[in-house]
Structure 1
Amino acid sequence: MNTPHVALLGTGIMGRGMARNIVAAGIPLTVWNRSPEKAADLGADVAQSPAEAAKGADVVVTILSDAHVVEEVVREAEPARGTVWLQQSTVGVEGCERLAALAAELGLVYVDAPVLGTKGPAEAGQLTVLASGPADARETVQPVLDAIGARTLWLGAAGQGSRLKLVANSWVLTVVEGVAEALTLARALGLDPQSFLDVVKGGAMDAPYVQLKGAAMLSGDLDPQFPLWGAAKDARLIQEAGRAAGVDLAIIEAARRHFERAMVDGHGDLDMAATYLSH
């Protein structure tokens, strides 16, 4: 298996950890970010533009905020025809289809591969990759996927990864909002909210995320592992996909409203657990 030269576009909360692990795996890497200071100190070459980053790359990785930004940056990058585009941003079903069309327009090999995990797993190389795309691209991207993730699931044609990402995130957002509401109810009923976390701990109703996010809510330790604005964006993407498929997603709709309320209250750049602050 040959070692690809990789360009990574987007060194935010997720991209920085991913970049460090790609470098640690011995893969030649060039990075670009709109805020250049976020691309520094990663051990990679730093490009001044997306086009400079993509020049000569075998694989171009995008890990950006939404489909609109991804499309804008890739058009600016103009990778050479035949380059493998490893698209790892969460963009939803319609966004994924739009980016696949862009790949066809530019002559790129499109691999749709969003990830499950937040800042910590990204830094530890422990992401789960939901990969989908042409089988003949797998060998090219596998060194990158091995560097950033603990597990890769290949799901079929491009687009399946983005679909499963929405399904998985629907559960994540449900858990986070559910924990926030349970803690709020406990407080309103005159209980110590910690008693909820204690009573479910280790039992059938518990999950690592319940304790992790519940503890963050109660301690106020809201350093963004996954920012609240991103949770609100993903909730909208999940709703759009459900609506298009004829599915009523009432819980996600309620969670989105609560996330957006917390954003109005000024908590958008905090961790998604900050939804608790606005209950």
Structure 2
Amino acid sequence: MPAPTHLKNDHLQNVGIIGLGIMGSAIASHLVTAGYQTFGYDPDERCSEEAASIGVMTQTSALEVAKRSDLILLSLPHDQALNETVSHILNSPDVTRLKPILIDLSTLNLAVKKRNHDSLADAGIKFFDCPISGTGAQAKTGDIVVYASGEADTYHSLIPLFNCFARRVFYIGKFGQGTKMKIAANLLVAIHNVATAEALTLAINSGLDAEMFCEVIASGAGNSRIFELRSPLMAKGTYTPPTMKLATWEKDMAIIKQFAEEMGVSTPLFTATSPIYEAAIQQGLGEQDTAAVFAVLQNMTKPSQSSISSG
């Protein structure tokens, strides 16, 4: 297969992606469309089959992907998955000889990322910390942002790759700065999501039409990207398929909490949202979209005693 015309470096044409879930599969689709030879792996057979149907050359293991790729994107659910993936790579003479570039798109514990970065560096393998801002739905349309961090010189050669699946790419600085930016961004997301649910609950309980409320607020000062994305889901009570599962978001909440504590930063607004997300998990909504916090607030709300009617 000829190299895509937008590539600056022919040696970056074979791209692997490990993790083909909501985010990974969306990114893989863009890679295939852009003309990259795209190799992929996911332990979930269903995810692998869906990726194969869009042109991803699925493999039987993460190591097989690494052996075939000059550059490997990681879209992983937890720290253990990153540790295992890096361990497999470091224990393979074939892969360490090829020295592929690794790019972690996941939101994971910063200390865990740094440990793996140091281990890979000892083997002469470059590792970039490039978490993504956006949902799976946004990833499908390329409406996501990359917070890139790592070696500056090599970063510039990766920009064409990022541009094929992201709306914006920011170089944040040395390795780890991307995750710091993502954690701060996620703190805002946590608050905006619950604030959207709270405002919509108030509006409906006062007799306002839910769809009209979403349209009007989206045009004014109270708007946010999270409001635009999640308020329509809340208004319709539609939380599947998820753009971000509550069970996955629970991991991100823990990362924010730990990092804020390590930095000695008080987070009263973020802390106030935690019981709402926890209640959603306890109510069995873990596999649904984070917009389902609206259902939690609805259950907490007493029927309106207001004389205001929707008529």
1:261 is matched with 279
Q: Alignment partner for residue 160 of structure 2, among 139, 143, 146?
A: 143
Q: Deviations over 1:123-155 (max 9, x none)?
A: 122321110110232244233212111211111
Unpaired runs of 5+ in structure 2? 1-7, 298-311
Instruction: State the AA in 2 paired with 1:224.
Output: P
Looking at structure 2, the residues matched to 208 and 253 of structure 1 have their Cα atoms a distance apart, in angstroms, of 21
Q: Deviations over 1:148-168 (max 9, x none)?
A: 112111111011111101111
Instruction: State the AA in 2 paired with 1:242.
Output: A
2:168 is paired with a residue whose SS is strand
Is 2:86–2:116's contact at 8 Å kept on the other side of the alignment? no
Q: Alignment partner for residue 232 of structure 2, among 215, 231, 239?
A: 215
2:262 is matched with 244
Q: Deviations over 1:190-244 (max 9, x none)?
A: 6655565465342212234324312211201212011112222111111111110
Instruction: Give 1:1-279 correspondences, 5 Å limit.
Output: 1-3=8-10, 4=12, 5-39=14-48, 40-78=52-90, 79-81=95-97, 82-187=99-204, 196-197=213-214, 200-222=217-239, 223-279=241-297
Scaled by the length of structure 1, the TM-score of the pair is: 0.92
1:148 is paired with a residue whose SS is coil
- Of structures 1 and 2, the larger Rg is shown by 2
Looking at structure 2, the residues matched to 211 and 143 of structure 1 have their Cα atoms a distance apart, in angstroms, of 29
Scaled by the length of structure 2, the TM-score of the pair is: 0.83
What is the identity percentage for the equivalent residue pairs of Structure 1 and Structure 2? Answer: 29
Looking at structure 2, the residues matched to 245 and 85 of structure 1 have their Cα atoms a distance apart, in angstroms, of 28
Is 2:66–2:100's contact at 8 Å kept on the other side of the alignment? no
Looking at structure 1, the residues matched to 163 and 290 of structure 2 have their Cα atoms a distance apart, in angstroms, of 28
- Where relative contact order (Cα < 8 A, 6+ residues apart) is larger, the structure is 1
Is 1:232–1:256's contact at 8 Å kept on the other side of the alignment? no
Is 1:235–1:253's contact at 8 Å kept on the other side of the alignment? no
Q: Deviations over 1:104-138 (max 9, x none)?
A: 34432011111111112211223211101102322
Unpaired runs of 5+ in structure 1? none
C-alpha RMSD of the superposition: 2.0
Looking at structure 2, the residues matched to 56 and 211 of structure 1 have their Cα atoms a distance apart, in angstroms, of 40
Looking at structure 2, the residues matched to 102 and 186 of structure 1 have their Cα atoms a distance apart, in angstroms, of 52
Is 1:225–1:271's contact at 8 Å kept on the other side of the alignment? yes
Aligned residues: 279
Q: Deviations over 1:55-80 (max 9, x none)?
A: 04211110011222111123224442
